Amino acid sequence: MKNKLIVFSAPSGSGKTTLVKYILEIFNEIKFSISATTRNPRGKEEDGKDYYFLSSEEFNNKIKNDEFLEYEEVYSGNYYGTLKSEIDRIWKIKKIVIFDIDAIGGANIKNMFPDETLSIFVMPPSIQVLKRRLLERGDVSKQEIDVRIKKAESELDYASKFDNIIINKDLEESKKVAFNLIKKFINE
Ligand code: 5GP
């Protein structure tokens, strides 16, 4: 089987992380690319599982050493990036890499590996629904929600760069769509 990548991108609160977790449970041949970030862990997040939590200095050193495939200041002051070593680690064990990254990072990865990548954009039904979901989630402050909504509006412009768009109105339906897209991609 050739080396493959699956990118899931979406504005924060669209349900992308839930879909990625579902896919990881179903497909043993797919493994999660753990990003590096300078933001602090939230809730039950674990270092080396959800993210590699780095200090700004550690992150900058990795930039200098050219260790990132892509990185971005996703929210002001907070950096997120995909380490080249993550893809190597997963391809070495003959698995498919799945990414949960923002729309710009997702579009960049598709550009870097156009033939190897299935890119999926998860779209919220509306900005209002997105705001409600972020409020209900309760893990980010009101101020942070405003920042995320602003970013979501600009991220939606990237949707057309992706191979597929899932409008996440109904989670069970979205899971089915994601499952079918990925099953087909794996068997190609
Ligand atoms: P959160 O702070 O909610 O975990 O993530 C904020 C945003 O950063 C999400 O859209 C998430 O997908 C994105 N993100 C996570 N890791 C990466 C990465 O390695 N690169 C890029 N470009 N975005 C990332």
pTM to 2 decimals?
0.91
pLDDT at position 144, please?
84
Q: Could you tell me which of 161, 146, 164 has the C-alpha nearest to residue 103?
A: 161
> Given ligand 1 and candidates 63, 70, 75, 80, which is best to mutate, with the most ligand atoms within 8 Å of its CB?
80
CA angle 92–93–97, rounded 5-degree value: 80
Determine the atom of ligand 1 nearest the C-alpha atom of 39.
2
Ligand 1 environment, Cβ below 6 A: 12, 35, 39, 70, 72, 74, 80-82, 100-102, 104-105
Task: Decide the pairing of beta strands 51-53 and 96-100.
Answer: unpaired
Which residues have CB under 8 Å from 18's CB, separation 6+?
A: 171
Q: Whose CA is nearest to atom 17 of ligand 1?
A: 101
Q: Rounded to an integer, what is the distance from CA 30 to the centroid of its chain? A: 14
Q: For the chain, what is the HEC assignment?
A: CCCCEEEEECCCCCCHHHHHHHHHHHCCCEEECCEEECCCCCCCCCECCCEEECCHHHHHHHHHCCCEEEEEEEECCEEEEEEHHHHHHHHHCCCEEEEECCHHHHHHHHHHCCCCEEEEEEECCCHHHHHHHHHHHCCCCHHHHHHHHHHHHHHHHHHHHCCEEEECCCHHHHHHHHHHHHHHHHHC
Query: Which pLDDT band holds residue 27 (cuts at 50, 70, 90)?
Result: very high
**Domain locations in the chain?**
5-187
Widest Cα–Cα separation across the chain: 46
Query: Which pLDDT band holds residue 178 (cuts at 50, 70, 90)?
Result: very high
Which residues have CB under 8 Å from 167's CB, separation 6+?
A: 123, 125, 174
> Given ligand 1 and candidates 18, 35, 69, 144, which is best to mutate, with the most ligand atoms within 8 Å of its CB?
35
CATH fold group of domain 5-187: Rossmann fold (3.40.50)
For the stretch 45-93, pLDDT in tens is 999 999 999 999 999 999 999 999 999 998 878 999 999 999 999 999 9
Determine the atom of ligand 1 nearest the C-alpha atom of 105.
22
Tell how far the Cα of 18 is from the centroid of ligand 1, in angstroms. 14
Percent of the chain predicted with pLDDT > 90: 69
> Given ligand 1 and candidates 5, 6, 42, 74, which is best to mutate, with the most ligand atoms within 8 Å of its CB?
74
Q: What is the mean pLDDT of residues 147-169?
A: 89
Residue 13 reports pLDDT greater than 90: no
